[in-house]
Amino acid sequence: MRKMRKMPEMMILPYDRKFFFVANNTTRPEKTEGGVEKRKVNEIVAEDREWDFVLDCYAGFGISTSIFAKHAKKVVALEEDFNNASAMWVNLYQYYQANEIGYVEILNDDNRSYLNPAPELKQHPPNLIDLDPFGSCKKQLELALEWMKDGALLLTNGHIGRISRNMKWVEKVYPDIGKRYIGDKAVDWPEEYYIPWLQENYPQLRRVVHFYAHPTSVRCVCEVGEFKFFEKTIQKLDKRPKYLGKYKDMKKNEEKNGKRVNKS
C-alpha cells in the first residue's frame, strides 16, 4: 500500500490581483526586496517579445511561470515536489480561466531528466530558460547548453553563505565557484569573480546583460549564442539596482575598509 505524503501547511498569498497557494516558508514576492526585484526583472525579460517556448526549470508555485506565460506561445513548468506542482496548477488555472496566458504544461518531474538531450528539445529548443534554484544548478546549466542554440537564460546562483560572508564550509563544498576575497583584498563577487567565471567556462553565454545580488543569491540575465535583447529591454534593465539590501551595505563597508572583515 502506497504511503500518502502529508500535505504541508499552506498559505494564501495575494499576488498579481490573484490568490496564490504557497508554502509558509516560501519567499514572498511582494514582501521581500529580493522577491520584488525578481518579479520586476522577470517582467522586463518576459515583455521583450513573444517567446516561442519558455522552460521554467524550478517552477515552484508558478509565480515566475505566470509572468512568462503571459508573453509566450508555450511554457513548460518543471517542479519535482508534488505538493508544489499541485499548488501551481491551481494558481495558474486562474490565469487560464481569464484567458491571460498561453499554453502551459506542468510536469511533476526532475528537471535533470527533462534536460537530458531529447530529440524534441534538440529539434525545438526553448528560446528562454529560467534556472532559479535554492542552491546550485551547475549540472542543469551544462545540460541545457548542450542543445540550446540562440536564446535568453535567467540564471540564479543560490550558494547560501558564499555571498553574504566567506564561510569555510562553502569553500570546501563549492571549490570551483570562486571567492569573495583574494588574500585579504575584498573583490566584487558578481562582477570580478562569478560573471567572468561563467563566461570563461560557458562560452555560449555571449553576454551577461544584467545581474542583481542580495545576501542569498546572484541572478543573471544572459544572452546565449546569437540572441540579442531589444534595446528597450536593455535600457529598462539598466535602470534596475544591482545590489540589494544587506549585500549593498556589506559591499560599501568592504570597499571602505579594503580588508577582510569576517574570517570565520
- In the predicted structure, residue 155 carries a pLDDT above the cut 50: yes
Phi and psi at residue 146, to the nearest 5°: -70, -30
DSSP 158-221: --TTTTTS--HHHHHH-TTS--SEETTEE--IIIIIIHHHHHHH-TTEEEEEEEEEETTEEEEE
Model confidence at 262, pLDDT cuts 50, 70, 90, reads very low
pLDDT of residue 66: 97
Q: Note the pLDDT tens digit of each residue in 180-201.
A: 555 666 667 788 888 998 999 9
Share of the chain above pLDDT 90, in %: 51
- Using DSSP's 3-state secondary structure scheme, residue 241 falls into coil
pLDDT of residue 185: 65
Average pLDDT over residues 76-99: 95
Q: What is the rounded distance in angstroms from the CA atom of residue 23 to the CA atom of residue 93?
A: 18
Q: What is the rounded distance in angstroms from the CA atom of residue 21 to the CA atom of residue 254?
A: 40
- In the predicted structure, residue 249 carries a pLDDT above the cut 80: no
Cell of 93: 488555472
The dihedral sign for the CA sequence 159, 161, 165, 167? negative
Average pLDDT over residues 91-110: 95
Average pLDDT over residues 3-27: 75
Average pLDDT over residues 49-71: 96
- In the predicted structure, residue 113 carries a pLDDT above the cut 50: yes
Q: What is the rounded distance in angstroms from the CA atom of residue 85 to the CA atom of residue 104?
A: 13
Domains and CATH numbers, the chain: 27-257 (3.40.50.150)
Highest averaged pLDDT of the listed ranges 132-136, 142-146, 173-177, 247-251: 142-146
Average pLDDT over residues 29-54: 92
